[in-house]
Structure 1
Amino acid sequence: MSNELKFRIPKVLPYFTRFGQHWRWNVKSVFSAKTALQQRVSGKVVILTGASSGIGAQVASELARAGATLALVARNREKLDALANSIREFGGKAFVYPGDLTNFDECDRVCKAIEAEHGRVDILINNAGRSIRRSIKFTYHRFHDYERTMQLNYLASIRMAMNVLPGMEARNEGHIINVSTVGVQANPARFSAYLGSKWALEGWTWVAANEFAHTGVRFSSLNYPLVRTPMIAPTKIYKYMPVMSVDTAVKWMLDVIITQNKRKLGVFGKGALGMYYLLPKTSESIVNFSYQAVYEQPPENYVSAGMRSRGPANEEAQGHSDGQSRHHKK
């Protein structure tokens, strides 16, 4: 078997096509967002993980109203059924696929079932996630913190993508949206497990975007800040911090679906990113100062029963997924 390199003439026309589409859809998103959303998703099959509550549930309803066929994925069948029924009441199309995405066999089963029943997947939104809030010094004997976040936030998302990508590539059309956090730019203390998994997810997303740039398959990262949901309630300091409303978070998601931009990032995230690259030590000192100043008792080792969040959330819950917290032995 020969290992010598072989060269071919690259396709360049798709770059110009993509450039024109980029500006056309971004202009549409500003001046006629509702119509643009309908044009993007009408008749399309959309997999939405973490669909049973919060941002996921509202996004599902908006996409259904725009004419999409929703494949709703989460662990809680009852909540999924309730959401699907509410969508069907206004004439929308929604189908329920319960599953625990930390089990890769479940990822495969769900994706195969959806493709078998609907023929294809046009859009995959990896919205399910887990967040753990704990300092590194309190995780010396808790390596499972890192395993749990990587299992759902990174590996499960990639497993879902690997299932639907062959079909997208064959049709030369598709969109994968991986939900991340502004913490990737700001690097707040106490979120090493969570942010490590999101860094990994974004790394895969950007490499995939580069490899498929000459095709019709697109990849997007959505960097949410904190969102005002019940999951952040146990962290008292968040009461005094500016956070995003759920309605705004939903608009962000819909905007990414319309524009297919590579990243959705707010002003704070852009500022944090610029600060990190221009003044890395100063940025580090600012984060460390706030870390030292905020002392928590007990020291971060509590489990919240919060429902969901976007951005660094509070504690070991698969809250992004379906509003259920999983309590683990300490």
Structure 2
Amino acid sequence: MRSIEHQIFNFPEAKLRFESLYELKCDTSIDSSYFYGLAHISQYIQKIIVVNNAKTKANFGVVKLIEVQKNLKYFELIDEFYTYSSSIYYVPDKKKAANSIDPILLALEKKADIINHLKIYLVYIGQTLHKVLPKLYKLKTLIVNDFRYTNEEQLRMCVYHDLEILKIDYCNLKTASIIIENSGGHLKKILLGTYEPDHIDDFYDDSLTFIRKIYQYCPSIEYLPLAFSPSKEHFEEFEKLLNVCQNLKSLSLIMCDMEEQVTEKNLTENGEELLNIIIKSAPINLREIRFLYDFKFSLGTFEEFL
């Protein structure tokens, strides 16, 4: 629904054709009157995808359409010009960005008792989203591009007992650990952007906590990224994770030594230790392992691993 020249909802058979509409993809440049018209006859849409290209003000027709829905399960909101780099380097006019997005988010808040799947990709993540997210307690899927600026108090209010999929492009391990701790033990897939520690000094403890939260609160996990220090304590906790999380199918691994200078010797020693743990304790369902960045293994250990 990107280009409409006529108010088709006034046609004689419009109600018959649109009453059972299941999915709608639209953008906010469409005149609000079309959404008001659709809101009168399509109140059981289960999946709505909104591309935001209004830079200064909200489309209140979209807001109304969301408000009247009685069975909305999936909602996606993405800025038209969102890119990986724009979310890092672009500094938008915060007031204008909030004006175009906030009414849509507040309308979504009213659907907290029915919405299960949420995907948000915005250039500017404002306080309204941080206030709305804790209200959406029935989420099974949470995909958002940025969680870096949410305070801990707001994070601990995000309790999702039915959460199965968590994907965040930008967040630190502490943030992810808090969300995982407040999940209900049903998480199957966790996808996190490449970890760039905001506080290098906290990486050792944060990565250790993250591993523990996984095996304590995610017994059903299937897809998992891990970034951790190559310490004895981390290796021990990693082995516990492998023993507990028997449904694990895919694992992405990053080892970051923040304390010692990286040498060929310690890369090989750490790689050997890691492979030996995987050989000994890997779940039977584990079929994919991604070793990201610098890993070294001896030929003998690698052959045993294969």
Tell me if TM exceeds 0.5.
Answer: no
In terms of fraction of residues, the more helix-rich structure is: 1
Q: Which has the higher contact order (CA 8 A, sep 6+)?
A: 1
Whichever of the two has the greater Rg, that structure is 2
Normalised by the length of structure 2, the TM-score is 0.31
In terms of fraction of residues, the more strand-rich structure is: 2
